[in-house]
Structure 1
Amino acid sequence: MEILPNSLATSTNGAIASSTRLAEDFNTFLKLLTTQLQQQDPLDPLDSNQFTEQLVQFTSVEQQIQQNKNLENLVSLLTAQRDSNAVAFLGKEVMVESGTALHDGTGARWLYELKANAASTKLTITTESGTKVLETDGQTGIGLHPFAWDGKDQFGNPLPAGTYVLKVEAASANGSAVASTVFQREVVREIERSGGEQNLVIGGLLFPTSAVVAVREPTNAP
């Protein structure tokens, strides 16, 4: 999937501005050249070498204008393709790598993957600022595991709606760390444009299409 980089999107405005300046310079140059030819002394005409150099400059400016137009067209095509790619995710169940989830008042859900079997796994939920609100044991087997949180802290007190983060720490029998990754997986129901880019709304949060690591048809399977 091709995603339009921010640098390329930024260059669009630069290309348009540059094209405008070149067009103005082109018109000015053309007027000056025409005036020069009209007012030259018939007894002392413009030197052929000098005239050739001016024609070369004239052609160079014209080519730069055309190149900028081609760049603008290319960026427009890439933008349209990117938007089309984002729309293709609607109704699909996608997975993105993210430990951040939105607690909407009823809790939040994550998936976490262990790269190997572990002897112990600790799951910690924190606020965005890093304050720990819950710590519990997790699954120890290799592979993907769902984790549903009811939105309550360590003492059973309901927590306010907002953004929370799941952290996974797994260790083997000899105490060495077991690699893990946390994901969000939801059916895409909405696409929202932000910062000039189409973003998928997943679990109430915005993710660029480049963040998607897996796509499948909607299912109730974990």
Structure 2
Amino acid sequence: MTAGISSLVTSSASSSTQTGTASSASGLANNFNQFLTLLTTQLKNQNPLDPMDTNQFTQQLVQFAGVEQQLKTNDRLDTILSASQAASTASATSYIGKTITTDGASTQLADGSATWTLDPARAAAKAVVTISDSKGNVVASQTTTLAAGSQAFTWNGKTSAGLNAPAGTYSIKVAATDATGSSVAVDTSVTGLVSEVDLSGGTPVLLVGSQRVPLSSVQQIGLSTSGS
């Protein structure tokens, strides 16, 4: 009989890790009733000369109580997770129709113009700006100077051959040096309009044109373009 109770408790513990919280809770309630029935029967029919080991009896109760507590903890964690996901979704959808600035080197060429924000660590006497298409092919290169601080860099969509590059995603790379020839680090970011939010994954992703932007990459949020 003792083995039967231990097996029942073990089965309940295994169930809690292999099935959903709701079905596990239901199974636990059923198993608990069976547990009490077995326990009562065992107590009634135990040999007075060889009664149930008190330590074993206590261990069975503690083990079963532990399973019950684990399921209650899982219930609370699921509730917290659902609330967190709902808050994240609500936050993400509020970005639609607004302009955002996000760290990164890729942006969209539209209407013959693409703009990046460059932020050198200090003034650069020489900065070679290389622009590549979505396949990694270099389409244009320019040499300029950069002042210290954040500043916009706009590409007119002209390739090195003087042709108009097709609309699409382009990335920028900046190799800068100061007056002494020492390398200068340049951070890049882009600004664009959020057109939709992808909620198919575990975390929401903002779409700026065809560019996918995780919420963690957003540096700044602009006003809505609706005029409200």
TM-score (norm 2): 0.76
Q: Which residue of 1 aligns with 2:179?
A: 173
TM-superposed CA distance for 1:112, in Å, is 1.3
Give the one of 36, 39, 43 matched to 2:38.
36
Structure 2: runs of 5+ lacking an equivalent: 1-15
What SS does the corresponding residue of 1:138 show, helix, strand or coil? strand
Residue 96 (structure 2) aligns with: 90
Give the structure with higher Rg (CA).
2
The equivalent of 1:8 in structure 2 is: none
Q: Within 1, Cα distance between the matches of 2:130 and 2:18? A: 49
CA RMSD of aligned residues (A): 3.0
How many residues align? The count is 206
Q: Give the distance between the partners of 1:182 and 1:90, measured in 2 at CA.
A: 23
Q: Which residue of 2 aligns with 1:7?
A: none
1:145 is matched with: 151
- Take 2:188 and 2:209, find their aligned partners in 1: how far apart are those partners? 14
Aligned to 1:26: 28
1:155 aligns with 2:161: yes
Structure 1 residues 1-16: aligned runs within 5 Å: none
Moved more, 42-51 or 61-70: 42-51
1:85-143: per-residue Cα shift (whole Å, max 9, x none)?
Answer: 22333343321111112335744222212221111111110123432111012342112
8 Å CA contact 2:89–2:199 kept in 1: the answer is no
CA–CA separation in structure 2 for the residues paired with 1:111 and 1:56: 61
Assess, with a 3 A threshold, how the Cα gap between structure 1 residues 163 and 187 changes in structure 2: closer, same or farther. Answer: closer
Query: Partners of 1:47 and 1:15 in 2: how far apart?
Result: 30
Alignment correspondent of 1:128: 134
Q: 2:130 touches 2:141 (CA, 8 Å); kept in 1?
A: yes
Change (3 A) 1:32 1:48: farther
Using the aligned pairs only, state the percent identity: 30
Distance 1:103 1:16, change over 3 A: farther
What is the CA–CA distance in structure 1 between the aligned matches of 2:171 and 2:19, rounded to whole Å? Answer: 43
Q: Report the CA distance between 1:82 and its aligned residue.
A: 1.2
SS at match of 2:45: coil
Tell me if structure 2 keeps the 8 A contact 1:105–1:160. no
Rounded Cα–Cα distance in structure 1 between residues aligned with 2:77 and 2:208: 33
Code of the residue aligned with 1:71 in structure 2: it is L
Change (3 A) 1:172 1:141: same
Question: How many Å apart are 1:146 and its aligned residue?
Answer: 1.9
Contact 2:112 2:164 survives alignment (8 Å): no
| Per-residue Cα deviation, 1:154-175 (whole angstroms, up to 9, x for no partner) | 0112334432211111111111
1:52 aligns with 2:26: no
Q: Shift of the alpha carbon at 1:203?
A: 4.0
Distance in 2 (alpha carbons) for counterparts of 1:165 and 1:64: 49
Is 1:73 equivalent to 2:115 in the alignment? Answer: no
Q: Which amino acid aligns with 1:111?
A: T
Distance across 1 between alignment mates of 2:195 and 2:204: 13
